[in-house]
């Protein structure tokens, strides 16, 4: 609760600023204490029986008073009596920082992660240990947004490398799938009530249709089918297996230097890196991304709109229509055109899903 969190910071710091205060008997406290009701997030208030706008003159607060029930604001006299002005400024700044941090945590959306930079594999391991985040994961997955993979993953043994790689990628995949779920829910709801959409809702739906290449009138059945077929998730098992395969478990040059985990190309020289073994007459580059999460987002969008993956989207839609969970092994069969290896590539991806027991992450969710 935001107000009570701020209240406890404001009171506890002055009371502990001078230990002599704790030695004073009741009735000799050198300040007035005012108790105010707290307005909770549900709109109600809560306070003890003697709550009000009156001041408790020279009385110590009741031992049973807790910050979850009411907030307390010490009068300015306590600051003047106990704390020099520079320290008061510092205390106010600290209180504001703590309050803002708590507010950010409360307002974080399900698909938002904490951005974290890790320059070494050992840092990643310590971070995951701190959050009790293991592989395979148990319970909810911490919302850790690792920005880039450390360059020393290739110095680890195979099991360590796999574990760190999967734990780094899984929160990113879950966050991006949560983002897609929210978009899909909005699209489904908006398409079912086109006549009553607000102006902002209508504009958002139009932007979504353009972004996913759903051309035509929004009330046309073909437009609806195309949009809902394209705005959907990809099973985490399939994403993790492809990322591991395409990036060499996060150790390839493009994974380390460009955050590119999926071998996605671009034809803009300024947007990518030149492949070392590119043919003389080739004009493609390997796309560079500002973060791993942006790479995951682009990969998902590529599967959701790319002409080569229409079969995957049709199979996914059929599973939805039958009320079945999305099967990554079946959907992998529609990725023949993702690689020049064709059927062999599909076989390899399916083998990685099975051998690494990747189906389990499909049941996991991000912790809040």
Residue-wise pLDDT for 55-72, tens only, equals 434 444 444 443 433 333
Q: Which region holds residue 146: left if phi is over 0, alpha if psi is between -120 and 50, else beta?
A: beta
Token duo for residue 182: 């929210």
38 and 85: one domain? Answer: yes
| DSSP bridge pairs for 55 | 34
125 and 216: one domain? Answer: yes
Query: pLDDT above 90 covers what percent of the chain?
Result: 61
Tokens 């759903």 belong to residue: 214
3-class SS of residue 134: coil
233: pLDDT strictly greater than 60? yes
3-class SS of residue 133: coil
Q: What is the mean pLDDT of the chain?
A: 81
198: pLDDT strictly greater than 60? yes
What pTM value is reported for the model? 0.71
Of the pLDDT bands very low, low, confident and very high (cuts 50, 70, 90), residue 92 is confident
294 and 310: one domain? Answer: yes
Residues 81 and 30: beta-carbon distance below 8 Å: yes
Residue 368 within a domain:
no
- Structurally, how many domains does the chain consist of? 2
Distance CA 141, CA 178 (A): 13
Domain of 242, in residue numbers: 115-363
41 and 136: one domain? Answer: no
Residue 357 within a domain:
yes
Dihedral, 132, 359, 159, 130 alpha carbons, nearest 10: -10
3-class SS of residue 272: strand
Distance CA 3, CA 103 (A): 10
Distance CA 234, CA 181 (A): 10
Distance CA 69, CA 60 (A): 17
Distances (CA, A) of 69 to 8, 102, 319, 366: 11, 18, 49, 30
Residues 362 and 325: beta-carbon distance below 8 Å: yes
3-class SS of residue 44: coil
User: Which helix or strand (DSSP H or E) is residue 209 part of?
Assistant: helix 199-211
Residue 32 within a domain:
yes
Distances (CA, A) of 130 to 6, 123, 125: 27, 11, 9
pLDDT score for 267: 87
230 and 88: one domain? Answer: no
Residue 184 within a domain:
yes
306 and 256: one domain? Answer: yes
Distance CA 151, CA 133 (A): 21
Quick one: 175 exposed, middle or buried, by C-beta within 10 A (0-12, 13-18, 19+)?
buried
When mean pLDDT is compared across 202-211, 259-268, 298-307, the lowest value belongs to 259-268
Residues 4 and 67: beta-carbon distance below 8 Å: yes
297 and 213: one domain? Answer: yes
Tell me which of 231 and 15 has the higher pLDDT.
231
Token duo for residue 170: 């899984």
CATH number at residue 277: 1.10.530.10
């Amino acid at each position: 609760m935001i107000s009570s969190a701020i209240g406890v910071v404001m009171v506890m710091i002055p009371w502990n600023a001078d230990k002599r205060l704790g030695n004073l008997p009741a009735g000799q406290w050198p300040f007035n204490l005012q108790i105010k009701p707290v307005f909770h997030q549900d709109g109600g208030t809560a306070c003890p029986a003697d709550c009000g706008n009156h001041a408790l003159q020279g009385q110590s607060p009741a031992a049973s008073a807790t910050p979850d029930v009411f907030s307390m604001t010490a009068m300015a006299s306590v600051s003047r009596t106990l704390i020099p002005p520079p320290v008061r400024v510092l205390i106010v700044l600290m209180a504001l920082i703590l309050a803002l941090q708590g507010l950010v945590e409360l307002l974080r959306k399900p698909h938002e992660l904490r951005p974290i930079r890790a320059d070494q594999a050992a840092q990643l391991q310590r971070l995951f240990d701190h959050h009790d985040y293991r592989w395979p994961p148990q319970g909810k997955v911490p919302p850790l947004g690792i920005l880039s993979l450390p360059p020393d993953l290739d110095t680890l043994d195979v099991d360590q490398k796999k574990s760190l790689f999967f734990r780094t990628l899984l929160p990113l995949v879950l966050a991006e799938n949560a983002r897609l779920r929210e978009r899909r829910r909005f699209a489904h709801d908006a398409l079912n009530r086109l006549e009553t959409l607000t102006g902002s809702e209508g504009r958002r739906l139009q932007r979504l249709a353009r972004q996913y290449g759903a051309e035509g009138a929004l009330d046309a059945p073909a437009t609806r089918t195309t949009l809902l077929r394209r705005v959907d998730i990809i099973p985490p098992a399939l994403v993790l297996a492809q990322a591991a395969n395409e990036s060499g478990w996060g150790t390839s040059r493009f994974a380390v230097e460009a955050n590119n985990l999926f071998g996605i190309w671009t034809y803009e020289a300024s947007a990518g890196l030149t492949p070392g073994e590119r043919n003389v007459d080739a004009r493609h580059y390997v796309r560079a991304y500002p973060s791993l999460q942006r790479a995951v987002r682009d990969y998902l969008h590529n599967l959701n709109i790319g002409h080569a993956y229409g079969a995957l989207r049709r199979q996914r839609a059929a599973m939805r229509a039958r009320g079945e969970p999305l099967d990554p092994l079946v959907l992998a069969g529609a990725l023949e055109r993702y690689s020049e290896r064709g059927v062999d590539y599909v076989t390899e991806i399916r083998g990685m899903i099975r051998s690494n027991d990747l189906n389990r992450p499909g049941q996991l969710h991000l912790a809040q």
